Chains A and B, each alone.
Chain A
């Protein structure tokens, strides 16, 4: 046996890389940004470090939904083009201390972003954060490619409409082999489904065949929350907030329950909403 000089053991165990998840849909206006904001807030509330990256260059919205528009000083392209450091550009959330936002550039074009640079940026963020959530722009062009390039996992947001399902189907094909591709069905109206006037969650997933992460009802609270810039996920009284928190739990692996399909409010709940009016 050789007398081997023992190597000094590195004192720092490398931190496991965070998870990069892109929130995408193909079709615009199905609620990608709202979903990103709420899942991010719900994950960060549990103590995980989360950064939300707005990849919708030219149409910056995530800061508005998060209520952080007044705090944005720098954006993704400032970082990519070395006009600001990453730390300078990360906006600290005003409610959850472990939540950060990296805003998109509002006055630039999507194809000004270099795909490799974007990939590198996501990799850098994964060194620092437990979760990197990327809010993807609508469409399947350059902006989409830049948004998905660094993500191992994807959440496809789809509303129960023919056009949204078709686009989601296309996007799933374009995402190719990811570690995980989940589905969030957004804007479900239980009363319409019951009357046979809206596609059901099963109808949607008969086409897409993705693991269902959660179902979000179309309810006034969502609009109110975006008016105020306060993600519903942080509202303990909101059932929709609870649905977002359950989604976060399923992503983290702490919630193994099957997603709850929203039902119509009972007569008493409707009466309560009429008089109490929790949603303003």
Chain B
């Protein structure tokens, strides 16, 4: 009965349903783009980042999310420990976040930069086994690492 009056006085347009369905269907369309490509990208990312830090490969996760005008890549890469000696030259932690659309080759940089920002990393390298603590570096959202994907 109450529902009836609700419908009578406040007609619920189906366009909101359409909007929501559209949003969801496009999200899944974009996420389902070429899973093998995503997998190979993930492996490459891990390989690059592993040069600098030890990562938990099994727990790595790469997803895509649509933001304003592009699709953003979200890489969640848990870090197990720092490497004792970073390969030269060491990455510079300072400076503004990278441009909105960095070339794909710079994917690994934000992760390293992020980790290097943390106080623990600024200390002289400690024995790797002692500080085996999981630290999560969220590569994308804070650093605007938007990777435009055709689609």
A residues near B, CB below 8 A? 161-162, 165-166, 169-170, 173, 176, 192-193, 195-200, 203, 207, 209
Contact = CB atoms under 8 A, between A and B. Distances in A.
10 contacts: A165-B26, A166-B29, A169-B29, A173-B151, A193-B15, A196-B12, A196-B14, A197-B13, A199-B15, A203-B22
B11 A196 contact: yes
A32 B13 CA distance: 28
A203 B13 CA distance: 14
A199 B21 CA distance: 11
B43 interface: no
Contacts, number: 45
Contacts of B2: none
Nearest to A161: B18
Contacts of B69: 209
B16 interface: yes
B6 interface: no
Given A196-B13, A199-B22, 7 more contacts: A176-B150, A195-B11, A196-B11, A196-B12, A199-B15, A203-B18, A209-B69
Contacts of A162: 18, 21-22, 25
B22 A207 contact: yes
A218 to B, nearest CB: 15
B13 A195 contact: yes
Contacts of B16: 196
B19 interface: yes
A196 B17 CA distance: 10
A169 B22 CA distance: 11
A207 B18 CA distance: 12
Interface string B24-37: 01100100000000
Interface of B: 11-16, 18-19, 21-22, 25-26, 29, 69, 150-151
A169 B26 contact: yes
B110 to A, nearest CB: 26
Contacts of A193: 15
Contacts of A209: 69
Contacts of A161: 18
A198 B14 CA distance: 7
A203 B150 contact: no
B18 A199 contact: yes
Contacts of B18: 161-162, 198-199, 203
Contacts of A195: 11, 13
Nearest to B20: A162
B4 to A, nearest CB: 19
A197 B22 contact: no
Contacts of A199: 15, 18-19, 22
Nearest to B33: A173
A58 to B, nearest CB: 28
Contacts of A176: 150
Nearest to B150: A173
A203 B18 CA distance: 10
B15 A207 contact: no
Contacts of A169: 26, 29
Q: Which 3 A-B pairs have the closest CB atoms?
A: A196-B13, A173-B151, A162-B22
Nearest to A194: B13
